[in-house]
Every structure is written in C-alpha cells, then in structure tokens.
Amino acid sequence: MNAKPAAARTVARNVDIVVYPGFKAMEAIGPMSVFEYANLHLQRRGRAPGYDVRIASTAVGPVRSDTLMSLDATKALSPLSLPDDAIVVGARHIQAALAAGPDIVAWVAASAPRLRRLAALCSGAFFLAAAGVLDGKRATTHWSVADRLQADFPSISVEADAIFIRSDNLWTSAGVTAGIDLALALVEEDFGRDLALEVATEMVVYLKRPGGQSQFSAHLLSERTAKPNIRDIQNWILDNLHEKLSVAQLAQRAMMSERNFTRVFQQEVGLSTQAFIEACRFERATQLLADLALPIKTVAARASFSDEAHMRRVFQKKLGITPKLYRERFATTGLQLAPD
C-alpha cells in the first residue's frame, strides 16, 4: 500500500501500537509521543491531525508492561481490521513473549503484505522474524539479542549496529530510544523534514539520527571493554586520530605481540583495530558536519581521513549517503554553512 502525499491526504493515518504482557513501556510511549506532537504541530499549522493512534493487543483491556505501568488496549488484533501502520514493540524476555504470543506471529504473517508500513522496535523484530516476513531482508534489533536473532533466523541479514533499517514496507530498530528515531523518520516521510524537526525539538531530542548509524559511539565501545589495557588503547586512539596508527604501534603500546593484540582487541571490542579507527574518524566527522560550518575538505582533515574521497567512501559504506547529504539532512538547526 503506497502512502498518499501529505498535501493530498485529509484522513488521519491509523497507527496501531502492538503490545503484550511484559512489553517495554518506553518503546510504546516514545513513538506515541512522537505522533501526538506531530498532531499538535499540524494543528498549529491549521491542518488536520495526521495520526490516529491506538493500542492493540490480542484482546482488549489493560496490558501490563515491564514497569508498574499498564496500557489499555482498545483494539483486538485482527487481519480483518488493519491500520495503515503497525508498530510491534519489544520485550526484555523476548523468547518467553514469543512463546506466549503465537497469535501475534500469525497476525504479522497475515497482515504484513497488506500494511502500508510495519515496524518492529528492539526485540519486537523476533515476531516479524518468526512470521517469516523478514526472510531475505536486512533488519536490526537491540545489540544484546542480535546474535540470537541471526542464529535463530539465518535467512535474515541482521545488522547489529544500526539505529533503524527499512526494507520495503518493513522497518526495524534498535532498543528503546531508537524507536523515537524510527517514529521521527515515519513523520518525516509523511509530512516532511520541517515537521519532524519541530517534533524533535519539542521532545528535546538533540539530533535526529539517520538510519544505519551505529548503536554504539566509539566512546561507548571503549567503556564496554573489560580489559584495562585494551580500553586504554581505545582511549589513546580517540586522542590520537591524527597519527598514522598501525597495529604494530598499538601492540607495542599495549605491550603485547601483534598477533595476540589483534586477537584480543577483536575479541574485546568486536571490531578489528582498523575498523575501530575508521569508526572513530567517522563519528568525529558526523559531529563536525552537524555542529560546525566547515568545508567538507576541512572536516575530512580534522577527522583525520587521508583525504575527502576517503571520507566519502566511508560515509557511503556506513550510511549510503555522502558527507554533504548527511550535513543537509542532519545539521543542527540554524547552522550557517560555509561553502564547500
């Protein structure tokens, strides 16, 4: 089902947020808030509300979340009464939720081809996977269950570090706050970037992260490393990106053989040393592009890429867009850009 252009559509889009016992409360509340603020800002523009949001479950009535809060499901899932869009939230204990929710899996299998958009937040991707609708497609989920998703459903191309991924009419996201990023992307698709930015500002979301951006910053990867000497090396890399960093140099600083250092670094960080260095430079470049009015060539130099072309290749590999397009889409509001 193709979405009508925003200017041509006067009827609100029906959005069902699908919950079940033990669902993650924040993953339901975050997108609900995005759509509510979108309606508010549309009304301020003199336009009709864009979204009619409902809580759906296998039966109507209160559904207890993973917190003290419950949400009241006002709609029972049925392939005979479909919304325009549906969002399936995740759970802390997804295997138990999946075993207890075969009706949700059956509903997804029957409904996915007929929905305009079907999104799964965090571990909610397991419901889509179990229904078979993600077979042969790219998808993401929370990093803590990404390996399990890939192992249980090998026909899916799981990208464990993405914030969110779109494959045709199917959307999947990382955990908790990534659901807000995904919902903002839906609003942008429906009503344009300006409205999505207004909603982000209202919710005090600093910057809308692009789909495909890593769930982990380089600093977060360093904080998660258990071995102090490897963590020290990561921090040293972050402080010395301007250097021509080699495995031999880093191994010497860690007082390890190159072979052992390479093995331990990969084991601890989950990336090779060169992949980690590239991630650090990429992250620095995204910050410079978003927050400073610098020419692209200057950004490449300050992020310690070998040249502008090298930086462009990395952006294409990680995001599928150029640094210039990244800046146009995600620069801080009000940034006065210098000519490239």
The pLDDT score that the predictor gives to residue 9 is: 60
Half-sphere exposure of 85 (CA within 13 A, CB side): 27
- Using alpha carbons, select from 90, 97, 104 the residue that is nearest to residue 179: 90
The pLDDT score that the predictor gives to residue 4 is: 44
The pLDDT score that the predictor gives to residue 301 is: 94
Tokens of 286: 């995204």
Choose the CATH number for 217-340 among 1.10.10.10, 3.40.50.150, 1.10.10.60, 1.20.140.10. Answer: 1.10.10.60
- Using alpha carbons, select from 215, 252, 232, 239 the residue that is nearest to residue 304: 239
- Could you tell me the end-to-end alpha-carbon distance of the chain, in angstroms, rounded to an integer? 40
* Cα distance between residue 313 and residue 286, in whole Å: 14
> What are the extents of the domains in the chain?
6-202, 217-340
Return the DSSP state at 8: G
The model's pTM: 0.68
The pLDDT score that the predictor gives to residue 320 is: 76
The pLDDT score that the predictor gives to residue 286 is: 85
Tokens of 225: 């490393």
The pLDDT score that the predictor gives to residue 224 is: 58
The pLDDT score that the predictor gives to residue 1 is: 43
Which CATH architecture does the domain made up of 6-202 adopt? 3-Layer(aba) Sandwich (3.40)
Grouped pLDDT means (10 residues each) for the chain, 340 residues: 49 96 96 96 95 98 96 96 97 95 97 97 97 96 92 94 88 89 92 87 64 53 71 90 91 94 91 91 86 85 94 87 80 47
Cβ(289)–Cβ(333) below 8 Å:
no
The pLDDT score that the predictor gives to residue 333 is: 41
Per DSSP, the three-state class of 339 is: coil
- Using alpha carbons, select from 156, 216, 163 the residue that is nearest to residue 185: 163
Cβ(58)–Cβ(104) below 8 Å:
yes
